[in-house]
Amino acid sequence: MKDEPKKPYIKPEVTQVPLRPEEAVLGNCKSSNTGGPVNSTMCSTTACMTIGS
């Protein structure tokens, strides 16, 4: 069986990818820092998602 040619060595690299924890954990409504009954009309699913990108 014919040997497969070796792949060229590629030195591993560390790449930093920025994470935004405040977005990633769904910690807050997007339209307000409050949630629940104190602003239940503001915090419906529709209103909470009004500030997207």
Partner 1 sequence: MTSSPRSLAIRIADLTIALTSEDPRLAVPPEGAMRQFVVDEAEPDLRLQARWAKLEAVSGAEPLFDSGGLWRLVAANGSLRFSFTSPPLGSLPYKIASVDRGLTAGEIWLHQPYFPSGLPVNPLEYPLDELLLIHLLAAGRGVEVHACGVMDSGGQGYLFAGQSGAGKTTMAKLWQMAEGARGAGGVMILSDDRIILRKIDGTVWMYGTPWHGEAAMARAARAPMAGIYLLRHGQSNKLVSLRPSDAAARLLACSFPPFYHSGGLDFTLGFLEQVVEAVPCHELWFTPDERVVTLVGGS
Site residues, partner 1 (CB under 8 A) = 15, 17-29, 33-38, 40, 43-53
Give the residue with the Cβ less far from partner 1, 1 or 25. Answer: 25
The helix or strand, by DSSP H or E, that contains position 47, with its residue range, turns out to be helix 45-48
Which bin fits 36, alpha (ψ -120 to 50), beta or left (φ > 0)?
left
Distance CA(32)–CA(23), nearest Å, equals 13
Give the residue with the Cβ less far from partner 1, 3 or 22. Answer: 22
CB of 11 to partner 1, least distance (A): 14
CB of 18 to partner 1, least distance (A): 6
